[in-house]
Amino acid sequence: MSDQKTEKMAIAKAINESLRQALEADPKVLVMGEDVGKLGGVFRVTDGLQKDFGEERVIDTPLAESGIVGTAIGLALRGYRPVVEIQFDGFVFPAYDQIVTQLAKMYARSLGKVKLPVVVRIPYGGGIGAVEHHSESPEALFAHVAGLKVVSPSNASDAYWMMQQAIQSDDPVIFFEPKRRYWDKGEVNTESIPGPLHRARVVREGTDVTLVAYGPMVKLCLEVADAAAEEGRSLEVLDLRSISPLDFDSVQASVEKTRRLVVVHEAPVFLGSGAEIAARITERCFYHLEAPVLRVGGYHAPYPPARLEESYLPDLDRVLDAVDRSLAY
């Protein structure tokens, strides 16, 4: 772990470096999607990859999401490991059929004879002032489907390593990239893997309330913990990193310590991943809990126009309010 191998880079750059690393390491790895080649992707996440690896490895595709995922399945059947980009969260639905009925199930249908190591990259979430279908958080729709794995990094180091691990996985992985954090910089040690792909991590220790988040909400929760500290409250912040499988053991361990849990995500609260966490943690920690598990997230409404998204998205005060309610029991 020499210091020379530690670099400061933005999340978008970390994913770019990770893809570059994967393309170099394995000739079967392909990058596919609309605009991923010459343009380098609309967020420049794939910038320069086609120039260095050629059009046969970094493939500009027709504008057809089902086609992108469906042909990636065929390429995986032929022994390739495609990493496909869906340009924005709300555009994944034309491909949802291929992802759910084909990508997720072929391993089981073939009784393990056919593996589909496909990574579907989806920039997701709000907070960038975009037009409709560009700010959604559909992770629960994918996590609900057996056969898929669903992850979301919150920082540059995880973005770098989790992408490598997702590509190496023999299972299809839906890789949700927090687009509002693409330009956040962090330290990346490119020599040392921080941990397994599906392990949650305590990113701030605390004793009074546990905050659980993933992707774009981890940064917010750390800010909440700072603000709460000023009021004399010690919050523990857990970054789930993986939504399916979900590391309930780590959540349980934290809740057994703090006895209070608030789950924070951008997606609508109703039937969201927070609901699953609340139910399981209630089962596992019933006698430890001092308060019901609370959730902070989006409303059961279409994602609003950009001028209203600050009201829709969880913010500092909404999370602090939930912390207050938890502590009031």
Q: Which residues bind other proteins (CB under 8 A)?
A: 56, 61-62, 64, 66-67, 69-80, 94, 97-98, 101-102, 105-115, 146-147, 149, 169-171, 198, 244-248
Angstrom distance (rounded) from CA 162 to CA 21 = 12
Q: Are 237 and 254 in contact (CB under 8 A)?
A: no
Q: How far is the CB of 115 from other proteins (least distance, A)?
A: 5
Q: How far is the CB of 64 from other proteins (least distance, A)?
A: 4
For 100, which DSSP code?
Answer: I
Residue 92 or residue 222: which is nearer to other proteins going by CB? 92
Residue 114 or residue 271: which is nearer to other proteins going by CB? 114
Q: Are 163 and 15 in contact (CB under 8 A)?
A: yes
Q: Rounded to the nearest 5°, which phi and psi values hold at 229?
A: -60, -35
Q: Rounded to the nearest 5°, which phi and psi values hold at 243?
A: -95, -30
Note the residue count of the chain: 329
The token pair at 68 is 């992108």
DSSP string, 55-92: TTTEEE--S-HHHHHHHHHHHHHTT-EEEEE-SSGGG-
Q: Say which of 134, 144, 198, 300 is annotated catalytic.
A: 134
Q: What is the SS3 string spanning 183-214?
A: CCEEEEECCCCCCCCCCCEEEECCCCEEEEEC
Residue 106 or residue 296: which is nearer to other proteins going by CB? 106
Residue 16 or residue 250: which is nearer to other proteins going by CB? 250
Q: How far is the CB of 30 from other proteins (least distance, A)?
A: 8
Q: Are 263 and 274 in contact (CB under 8 A)?
A: yes
The token pair at 323 is 């912390």
Residue 116 or residue 267: which is nearer to other proteins going by CB? 116
Verify whether residue 144 is a known catalytic residue. Answer: no
Q: How far is the CB of 69 from other proteins (least distance, A)?
A: 8
Q: How far is CA 132 from CA 135, 195, 270, in A?
A: 7, 36, 20
Residue 67 or residue 304: which is nearer to other proteins going by CB? 67
Q: How far is the CB of 247 from other proteins (least distance, A)?
A: 7
Q: Rounded to the nearest 5°, which phi and psi values hold at 60?
A: -75, 120
Angstrom distance (rounded) from CA 139 to CA 150 = 7
Q: How far is the CB of 1 from other proteins (least distance, A)?
A: 26
Angstrom distance (rounded) from CA 258 to CA 211 = 10
Which residues are the active-site residues?
A: 134
